A and B are shown apart, each in its own frame.
Chain A
Amino acid sequence: MDALLALPPMYYVAMVAKVLVAFVFVLLTVAYATYAERKVIGFMQVRLGPMRTGPYGLLQPIADGLKLFFKEEIIPKQASTFAFLVAPLIALVPAFISFAVIPFGGNIEVFGYTIPLQIASVYDPQVGKVLDLNVGVLYILGMASLGVYGIVLAGWASNSKYSLLGGLRASAQMISYELAAGLAIVSIFLMSGSLSLNQIVADQAGAFGVAGWYLFRNPFTFLAGIIFFICSIAEINRTPFDLPEAETELVSGFCTEYSSMKYAMFFMAEYANMVTVCAVTTTLFLGGWQGPAFLPGWVWFVAKVYFLIFCCMWIRATYPRYRYDQLMRLGWKVFLPITLVNVVATALWVMVVG
């Protein structure tokens, strides 16, 4: 506690500013990701998407939010009230706080005080280095798994068969894909030798630009990157892995009984998770905020994240939903063995090539 209070006042100002900026950025991205998703899928289906609310439908997210905000709040009589109320929060909060360890830019200097553009970090002038959470990746994995509790709890507390099935599917899916995603990240640890995201990004700098990214470092990390991204999509329950809320079979899955703002919170959580997952993929595999120097680091970071978000939407517009047994087979029989072999192969590569 003393060590925390001993920091210069600039540290606290910078911290609050960073938190606000990152939070507002994620929130805005979440709002406009819904709009972008409808537009992108619309164009891919040779139609226009939202066009009526404001010019080119630009006010659509605001209209949707207002509509949901003023809707009636319904709590089913049979539901377990406390869990029912708290579930959307449990889903939403981990989606946002994962951003705390993601570096979204290089250091900036304000009034002679160096601020690293990563929330949970500080620049130590004595060592001349950025100190951040040295188990950042573990923290992200932990938060990602916490998010599923919200969904499971929502499914259980609603006391409805559809919700329960949705919640069960979410937990089973989460466990199957978390393993493969974790093993895919192990390849990155082998390359970087560090769990700190700041270190991982710094390691991907290199003089060759794109060639320095872990995705293109060697064939095994490339495979790991692809698998990590697919597993992440499965973890955040997006098409083609959206079984927990499969409309065609489970009404709306875990959020069947939810209405109004609580329903909106699940959707915010889903999109915030998408932003987070894309940011994590960017950091781990696409060189984080590294990029040609003519633009500041955060611009590259945002560009990469938005590109990955576009990929998520592209995938959603393309593929139908997996059947449940196909999903499990893909997780356990395809991705898990591949990533296991991949870890060994990456280790050999590191040993031989260096």
Chain B
Amino acid sequence: MEELLKNYQSVAEQQAIHWIKVGQTEDFPENAGACVKYNSKQIAVYHFTRTNSWYACQNLCPHKMEMVLSRGMIGDFQGIPKVACPLHKKTFSLEDGSNLNGEEYSIATYPVRIQEGNVYIGFAD
């Protein structure tokens, strides 16, 4: 189980080496999430249309190790964009992956770029 988690490490925008095209903007739902695949990773991608901002994080919920976060509801907590896991409503910041319920586990986040209607996610490996 722990092995699964190790597969996901946060990548800051400047650390990204590979920018992988994962689809066009209209392939992704508005104000909700969808999942993409990159090698062995499952990445959740969210489009917040009210501010036209995009976020990406691991699809794996670290609470029970299930591939579900892309199916969670999104929103904000005091302005911080967040996702709520569909299994137990654990919430995580999409800015830095931190746990917003005050528990110890957190998630990895990835940078997203939009160019000419295409969605790219930055990876360091």
Partners in one complex: no
Seen from chain B, the residues whose Cβ lies within 8 Å of a Cβ on chain A are none
